Chain A
Amino acid sequence: MLRIDKPGLLTTIQDQGRRDFQHVGVVTSGAMDQVSPRIANWLTGNHGSECVLEITMIGPTITFFGEALIAICGADLSPEIDGMSVRNGRSIYVKKDAILRFGKCVSGCRAYLAIAGGFHIPEVLHSKSTYLLAGIGGYHGRALQKNDQLQTGNPSALAEKMLQSFRKNVPINRRFMEQSWSIHTSFISAGSNAKKEPLHIRVLKGIHFSWFDQKSKDDFFKKTFQLSSESDRMGYRLEGVKLKRTQMAEILSEAVRFGTIQVPGDGNPIVLMADSQTTGGYPKIAEAASIDLPVLAQAKPGDKLVFAEISLAKAHQLLWQREESMKIVQYQIQAHFQGKITRNLWKGDELDASN
């Protein structure tokens, strides 16, 4: 169990999303970055799809009421425990009364905290994700607040092994211990795309791409756009050059997806994100490739984006390659948990895939 002492900017329970009721308007919600939570979960011996805390820019202060195995992946929000800096991408053991805090947002926007055993959250419509607008799912359908207490589940057998090892090795005078091996998640975000500034977002042309004038079609791929302050879990409003249509016919409402880039009357594109509505009536100029949705998820107001077109075949190839990389990561983590690997195999981005 743990307690929220300070809630941070926007901290919510999310899992991989609410998929099954989109045909009746129930939005998917779920983690904006769908890669980081999977890794954080594996680092705590959980299934990749277990629910996590999605932490936005300003992180919460959390007191642990009992020992736990945790991990943080995604944005670097300068986590520290009992005043000492800890790092993303590794298993961390905490004892009762340890306090986790976050500091400066160094890179990215959203960090994900997983805990061995997951959070004890009831499912609503087959998911534990929080849908803020409807006030359903997650912790009572809302963002976490001061004094909220979260129950956690039982660690897996794999996590129990890791916990046993930590209990033996943790210094007596400390209330936490970091594992020595770690995962550098930058390579998972498809070729370090996440580190470039401006962010390079690969897209496929939208079904209404041809409805825009030539200048707009060129500008869409040449110019740099910026996330405005009106950017949140529903969508990112972009600023930059305005896009104009030649075809002015009205569009009847039709399905949209996480990653649809639509252009309302004022010409400023909106990238639809995890909490966007299921349908919409604005023209769709492009669709962000699924491979770059985690990159988009780590963008914050003020960040700059450029769009580049890729083919459908390439988009699928990149997804396949990433899944293959994820499988290797998952295997390596499990091998470490099982004590099969005692040396530190990884240095920075180097992953010894032959093991």
Chain B
Amino acid sequence: MNFELQSVGDNAIMVSFGSQIDKSIHKQVSKLSTYLSANPFDWMTAYIPAYTSVTIFYDPIILLRDAKTAHPYDIVDRQISAALENLQEISADPANIIEIPVCYGGKHGPDLSYVAEMNHLSEKEVIAIHSKTTYLVYMIGFVPGFPYAGRIPKEIRTPRKATPRKRIPAGSVGIADEQTGIYPISSPGGWQIIGRTPLELFRPDAAQPSLLKAGDHIRFKPVDEKVFQDWREMDAPHR
């Protein structure tokens, strides 16, 4: 397994496993995340998994206090490298497959017609292609609970909007090139919005505030407006 360690600022170190959106690279990211979650270093303040890397944040004061002569970065580098040696033995957390109900198009998917047009397909075909694929959640970032999932089939890939929207409703499902994602909270954004889910992806009062985590698999299930409204009224997170 190849990895590279790079210093980021004065309180973080980035462990990189590659440079493409790739399942085997993601497996390494996943294993390291699982390891860090179960075996946090005492100097670690946070870790952030991404497509091809995990950035580990450290507290230089804790390290300077404990080891007066060694440089904090050297200690961190050494301990992370040692952990990475044993990564193969780690099995990543079991992946869940989560079904995401989506009401496609209309007022919930203002960019569905654009995506269809750009790819010379009908809206129905776009929906069929988007919903037949199982996507891997590569990372959660941008805003709380936002999943970066992939990969969108070639037939419906569409670049981001040139001008991002100022406000995208919570639950909106979008496409950006080969990524698909869901906006858990209302925020600005530049992805092509093709539908909306009634599920709550971010629940600040829950022990696990994010419905999805890196390594999960998701499938989108088309539902109609009535189901969408009923689901939202029920306010029950999908398990």
Contacts and interface: CB of A to CB of B under 8 A. Distances in A.
A24 B10 contact: no
Nearest to B20: A252
Interface string B13-25: 0100001110000
Contacts of A254: 14, 50-53, 55
A257 B71 CA distance: 21
B142 A278 contact: yes
B141 interface: yes
B8 A207 contact: yes
A289 B122 CA distance: 52
A134 B50 contact: no
Contact of A253 (B11, B12, B139, B210): B139
B106 to A, nearest CB: 27
Interface in A107-128: 124-125
Nearest to A259: B9
A25 interface: yes
B220 interface: no
Interface in A299-355: 312-313, 315-316, 319-320, 323
Size range of the chain A interface in the assembly: 35 or more
B209 interface: yes
Contacts of A255: 8, 12, 14, 48, 50, 53, 55, 141
Contacts of B73: 312, 316
Contacts of B12: 255, 257
Contact of A289 (B10, B53, B143, B148): B10
23 contacts: A23-B46, A24-B144, A24-B210, A25-B145, A124-B205, A125-B209, A134-B204, A207-B14, A252-B20, A252-B51, A253-B148, A254-B53, A255-B50, A260-B9, A287-B8, A289-B9, A289-B10, A290-B9, A312-B7, A312-B73, A316-B71, A320-B61, A323-B61
Interface of A: 19-27, 124-125, 133-136, 204, 207, 252-255, 257, 259-260, 277-279, 287-290, 312-313, 315-316, 319-320, 323
Given A23-B49, A253-B51, 14 more contacts: A19-B45, A22-B47, A22-B48, A23-B46, A23-B47, A23-B214, A25-B145, A26-B209, A134-B185, A135-B185, A254-B52, A290-B11, A316-B10, A316-B60
Interface of B: 6-12, 14, 19-21, 33, 37, 45-53, 55, 57, 60-61, 64, 71-73, 139-146, 148, 185, 187, 202, 204-205, 209-210, 213-214
